[in-house]
C-alpha cells in the first residue's frame, strides 16, 4: 500500500519533544508514526493525536535493538513502500548535565549514552535509508544539542563553556559528525540531512528549570523535516539560525 501523504517516523515520540514534533508534523498534513520502546505508551500517544483528528499511528521500536530496527524497516516497506521523514529524536543522559567531570565519568555511562545517542541513530538510519531513497524529498533530522558544539565548548566566552558532561556532549558531537558525513554522501540525491538543537526545553531531560516550552522546542526539528527543495543540508540549526560545529 502507498500513500500520497508524506510519511514520517519520529523516535522517542510517546512524550516530550518527540510527541510534539509528531503533532506539528501531523498538523502540517504528514502521516506520523510515533516510534516508542513501549508499544502501549506509543499507542496511547498516537490515540491522543487521532483524538485531535490527526493522522497518527504507533510503531514499536527500541532504537538500540537490531531486530526492532529490521522489523520496523520491513513494516514500512510493506505498508508504504517508502519513508519521507526520519527524525532521530530518542536520546538519554546517563549523567547530570552540566556537572560531569571527565575524571569521574565511568566507562559504563559513556557506553550507555553512546549506544542510544549515537550508535542507534546511525544504525536505524542505515536500516531505513533504502526507503528514504524512494522518497521524492527525503529528510533526515538528527536531534542534537548545542552542548555537542565543539566550537562553543572550547570557547571561554561562550554561554555553555562551564556546562559540561562528557558522555552526553561527546555523543551529540558524534551525532553531528554523522550528519556531516551522511549529508556529504547524499549530496547528489534529494535527501537532506541536518542536525537540530531544539533549545533548553521543559522536558524530562531539560527539567522545569528550562526557559522554553515544548511547542517552541519542537519547531526546529519540524522545520528541518519540512524543508523545501532549496533548503540546506549538512547543517546545524536552531530556530533558523546556524550553530557552529
Q: Is the pLDDT of residue 212 over 50?
A: yes
Summarize pLDDT for 116-168 with one digit per residue, the tens.
Answer: 999 999 999 999 999 999 999 999 999 999 999 999 999 999 999 998 999 99
Q: Give the largest Cα separation in the chain, rounded.
A: 54
Model pLDDT, residue 95: 82
Model pLDDT, residue 214: 86
Q: How confident is the model at residue 94 (pLDDT cuts 50, 70, 90)?
A: confident
Rounded to the nearest 5 degrees, what angle is found at the Cα of 78, between the Cα atoms of 192 and 183?
15
Residues 179 and 160: their CA atoms lie apart, in Å, by: 22
Strands, DSSP E only, in the chain? 7-10, 31-36, 56-60, 85-88, 139-143, 192-196, 236-238, 241-242
Contacts of 65 (CB under 8 A, 6+ apart): none
Give the three-class secondary structure for 121.
Answer: helix
Beta bridge partners of 236: 195
Model pLDDT, residue 207: 66
Domains of the chain: 7-242 (3.40.50.720)
Q: Is the pLDDT of residue 210 over 70?
A: no
The better pLDDT of the pair 77, 205 is held by: 77
Contacts of 242 (CB under 8 A, 6+ apart): 235, 236
Nearest Cα to Cα of residue 198 among 180, 166, 225, 162 = 225
Q: Is the pLDDT of residue 32 over 90?
A: yes
Q: Measure the CA dihedral 206/212/214/217, to 10°.
A: -90
Model pLDDT, residue 1: 45
Residue tagged 538519554 (cell numbers): 92
- CA atoms lying within 13 Å on the CB side of residue 128: 34
Task: Catalogue the active-site residues.
Answer: 168
Amino acid at each position: 500500500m502507498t500513500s500520497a501523504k508524506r510519511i514520517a517516523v519520529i523516535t522517542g515520540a510517546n512524550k516530550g519533544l518527540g510527541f510534539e514534533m509528531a503533532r506539528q508534523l501531523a498538523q502540517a498534513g504528514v502521516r506520523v508514526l510515533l516510534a516508542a520502546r513501549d508499544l502501549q505508551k506509543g499507542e496511547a500517544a498516537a490515540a491522543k493525536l487521532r483524538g485531535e483528528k490527526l493522522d497518527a499511528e504507533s510503531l514499536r521500536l527500541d532504537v538500540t535493538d537490531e531486530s526492532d530496527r529490521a522489523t520496523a524497516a520491513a513494516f514500512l516497506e510493506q505498508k508504504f513502500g517508502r519513508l519521507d521523514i526520519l527524525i532521530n529524536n530518542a536520546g538519554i543522559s546517563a549523567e547530570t548535565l552540566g556537572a560531569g567531570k571527565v575524571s569521574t565519568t565511568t566507562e559504563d555511562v559513556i557506553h550507555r549514552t553512546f549506544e542510544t545517542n549515537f550508535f542507534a541513530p546511525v544504525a536505524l538510519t542505515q536500516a531505513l535509508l533504502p526507503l528514504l531513497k524512494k522518497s521524492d524529498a527525503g529528510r533526515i533530522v538528527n536531534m542534537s544539542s548545542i552542548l555537542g558544539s565543539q566550537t562553543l565548548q572550547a570557547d571561554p566566552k561562550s554561554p555553555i563553556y562551564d556546562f559540561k558532561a562528557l558522555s552526553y556532549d561527546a555523543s551529540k558531537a558524534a551525532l553531528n559528525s554523522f550528519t556531516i558525513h551522511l549529508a556529504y554522501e547524499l549530496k547528489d540525491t534529494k535527501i537532506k540531512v541536518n542536525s537540530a538543537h531544539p533549545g533548553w526545553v521543559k522536558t524530562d531531560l531539560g527539567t522545569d528549570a528550562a526557559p522554553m516550552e515544548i511547542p517552541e522546542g519542537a519547531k526546529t526539528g519540524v522545520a528541518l523535516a519540512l524543508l523545501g527543495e532549496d533548503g540546506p543540508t549538512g547543517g546545524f540549526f536552531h530556530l533558523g539560525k546556524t550553530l557552529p560545529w
